[in-house]
Amino acid sequence: MSEEKLVIEGELPGLNEIIAFAKEHWARYAGEKHIRTEQIAWLAKEQICGKYSRVDLIFNWYCKNKKRDKDNIIAGQKFVIDGLVQAGVIENDGWKQIGNIFHFFEIDKKNPRVEIIIEEVGE
């Protein structure tokens, strides 16, 4: 089994921001999702070599502060997983391709980021 790491600099929109986009106008959310997914797909193409049939995902969220709740923060995983699919790292984001998803949180005021460990697992 192999594993690789994807690093996304900065913070992703949280659930509150995503809801605000959707309330503003449906196209605002669609546009934001498209942009974020596309950005992450490009990062995945640059940083990830493998193609996997089934993975566990370990999200390490390095936040600039503790202002956002953890359940708000993890909403950004939607953009990440969809970006992995778009990049061809995984075929789809269903139960067959995604095993477990784990989340860990730290504070890094100077370098907020998300580090995702993509760990290949058996079927």
Predicted confidence (pLDDT) at residue 26 exceeds the cutoff of 90: no
Q: Nearest 10 degrees: CA dihedral of 22, 94, 51, 111?
A: 40
Dist. CA 48–CA 29, nearest whole Å: 27
Per residue in 93-109, pLDDT tens?
Answer: 999 999 999 999 999 99
Phi and psi torsions of 36, nearest 5°: -65, -45
Domains recognised in the chain with CATH numbers: 3-120 (3.30.1330.70)
Per residue in 38-56, pLDDT tens?
Answer: 999 999 999 999 999 999 9
**Residue tagged 């959310």 (tokens):** 29
Dist. CA 67–CA 11, nearest whole Å: 12
pLDDT band at 24 (very low <50, low <70, confident <90, very high): confident
Dist. CA 15–CA 26, nearest whole Å: 15
- In the chain, the DSSP E strands lie at 3-9, 55-63, 98-107, 113-120
Query: What is this structure's pTM?
Result: 0.93
Instruction: Report pLDDT for 35.
Output: 95
